[in-house]
Amino acid sequence: MKKVMLFAALIMLISSKCSQQHHDVGIAARPPMGWNSWDCFGSDVSEDQVKANADWMAENLLEFGWEYIVVDLGWYLHPDRTIHTFKEPRPPQSIDAYGRLVPDLNKFPSAANGVGFKSLADYIHSKGLKFGIHIMRGIPWQAVEQNLPILGSDSKAGDIIAPTDTCVWYDGLIGIDMTHPGGQAYYHSIAKLYAEWGVDYIKADDMCQPYHAAEIAGLHQAIAASGRPIVLSLSPGAAPLEQLPHLRQNANLWRISPDFWDDWKFLYRQFELCRLWEGTALPGAWPDADMLPIGKLRKTGPDDYIAEHMGKTPEEITDEYSRFTDIEKKTLMTLWCIFRSPLMLGGHLPESDETTFSLITNDQALEVNQASLNNRQVYRNGSAIAWAADMSNSKDKVVALFNVDDVQSINVSIGWDALGVSGDHIVRDLWTGEDIGQFSSLFSVELAPHGSGMYRIKL
C-alpha cells in the first residue's frame, strides 16, 4: 500500500502542473486518511484518549496509509463544559497572553509550562503519525473582554472584531474584521503558534456555512507564512459550489454536507451531494464527505443536536457501536473511496469491531481512494447508481455499484461502452479480493437493499 500511495502521489503531482487554480499540491496530494476525536469523545476529549488512539493507529493502521490524529473541539475547554453543555454562553476557555487558545491542563497535562501541544505532537510524531487540531473561526471572547494585545501588531483584541459576526452554535469566539490590519496579524499569530507546536493539520470550523471568504483566505495566508506544511480543512458544510475557485486556492479540503452520522438518511443524502461535486477534486484540494462514523461512537454521549437529528434520546445512542448495518458500512466506504473523499475515522480505534477493521484495512479498496482518476457518476436510474474511475497506475477501470432501495434487492449493471472499453475482461471484487469471472460487454450484480460493490475491470 505504501508503494501504491507514493506512486499515486507522484502521478498526481505531475498531472496537477497543468492546473493553476489551487495552491501547493505537495500538501494533501492525495485524500488525507486519519482519525478525528469528535464522533467518539465530542468536546470531552483528553490526552489519554488521544494517545490511546494514536498508539492503536500506529500499530494497526499506519501500514495501510492512515496517518493523521486530529483533536477536535474541546481541547481548550474546562472539563466542566461537557458534550451536553459546551454550547452554553461564554464557555471557560484556556488562552495565552496574546488571546490564543491553548490546551486545558486538566485534559492535556503535558501542555504545562507553556509548551502547549508540543509534547503531544512529539509523541504522535514519534509513532510515525501526523498531528492535527480543530479550531474555531475568530478570537476567544475572553481575549476581547480583557482587550489583550495581538502578537506582531499594535492592535488589541477589541480593535479587530466584527462584534455581530459570531458562530450560531458555539459562543466561544467572535469573528474577525479582516479589513483591519490587526485581523491578519492575529491569524498569523495563531498559525505561528501551531507551527511551533508541530501541528500538521488544521480543521477550521464555522468557516463554510455561511461562507467567510476573507477569514478563510487570511488563515490560508497565515499558514503559508508559518513555514510549516499544514493541511487546512474547512467545516462545516455544505460549502457553496460557486466558491470552488476560492476553495481550491485557499484550502486543502472542505465539507460538502452538514454533519454526517450513522443513520441511513444521512448516507442516502450523500449520494446526491457527491454527484454535485464530482469532477471537482484536484491534488491538494478535496471535497470532503465528512468523517466515517463507524466503530465505537459517542463514548461520552452525544449533544442534543445529534440525538434530535437521529430521532433518539441522548441515552439511547451513548457509548454504542455504529448504527450502520454491516451492509451500510461497506456502502459508506465504497462511496467515500470512489468519490475520493478524505477518510477520517470517527470511532474509538481500540474498540474497533471486526467489520470496521476489515473495511479500513482493505488495500485494494483504499487504493481506489488514493490512486484513481476521472471519478464520476455514470448514471442514477431509480435506486440503481453506478460510479466509475480510472486507475492512475494501470489501464484498469474501477466501478462502484449501489442499491439505495430500502426494501428490494435489484440488479445493477454497467456496460463496457460506459467505460470506453471492449472485449472480454476479468472482474475482481475489491472487497473480497477475488476474481469473480470474465465478462463480455456488460457486468451486472444483484445487490441487497442499501448494498454496494466495488469492482476492478482488468485490462
- Count of residues in the chain: 459
Which cell numbers hold the place of 370?
Answer: 488514493
165 φψ region: left (φ > 0), alpha (ψ -120 to 50), beta (else): beta
Provide the 10 A C-beta neighbour count for residue 107: 23
State the pairing for strand pair 410-415/397-403.
unpaired
Helix (H) or strand (E) holding 413: strand 410-415
Cβ atoms 74, 300 nearer than 8 A = no
Euclidean distance between CA atoms 297 and 352, whole angstroms: 10
Look at residue 105 in the predicted model and tell me its pLDDT: 99
* Phi, psi (deg, nearest 5) at residue 391: -95, 135
Q: At what angle do helices 326-339 and 264-277 cross, to 10 degrees?
A: 10
Query: What does pTM read for this prediction?
Result: 0.94
- Given the C-alpha cell 488562552, which residue does it identify? 95
The counts of H helices and E strands in the chain are 14, 21
Euclidean distance between CA atoms 256 and 235, whole angstroms: 9
Cβ atoms 431, 355 nearer than 8 A = no
Provide the 10 A C-beta neighbour count for residue 269: 13
Euclidean distance between CA atoms 183 and 176, whole angstroms: 6
Q: At what angle do helices 213-226 and 181-197 cross, to 10 degrees?
A: 50
SS3 call for 302: coil
Which cell numbers hold the place of 372?
Answer: 484513481
Provide the 10 A C-beta neighbour count for residue 258: 16
Per-run averaged pLDDT (10 residues), the chain, 459 residues: 47 40 75 99 98 99 99 97 94 98 99 98 99 99 98 98 96 98 99 99 98 99 98 98 99 98 98 98 98 98 91 96 99 99 99 99 99 99 99 96 99 98 98 98 98 98
Look at residue 26 in the predicted model and tell me its pLDDT: 83
Cβ atoms 255, 288 nearer than 8 A = yes
- SS3 percent helix, strand, coil of the chain, rounded to 5, is 35, 25, 40
- Given the C-alpha cell 487504493, which residue does it identify? 367
End-to-end CA gap in the chain: 21
Contacts of 59 (CB under 8 A, 6+ apart): none
CA distances from 160 to 154, 185, 216, 228 (A): 11, 10, 16, 26
Q: Does domain 21-361 have CATH number 3.20.20.70?
A: yes
Cβ atoms 78, 104 nearer than 8 A = yes
With helix as H, strand as E and coil as C, how does 82-97 read?
CCCCCCCCCCCECECC
Contacts of 237 (CB under 8 A, 6+ apart): 208, 209, 254, 255, 256, 257, 258, 288, 290
- Given the C-alpha cell 502521489, which residue does it identify? 9
The strand pairing partners of 212, in sequence order, are none
User: In sequence order, which ranges of 147-301 are alpha helices (DSSP H)?
Assistant: 181-197, 213-226, 244-250, 264-277
Cβ atoms 352, 295 nearer than 8 A = yes
Domain ranges of the chain: 21-361, 377-457
Spatial strand order of the sheet with 139-140 comes to 139-140, 173-176, 161-166
| DSSP output for 116-163 | TTHHHHHHHHHTT-EEEEEEESSEEHHHHHHTPBPTTSS-BGGGSEEE
Peptide bond into 350 cis (omega under 30): no
The CATH number for 377-457, chosen from 1.10.3720.10, 2.60.40.1180, 3.30.70.260, 3.20.20.10, is 2.60.40.1180
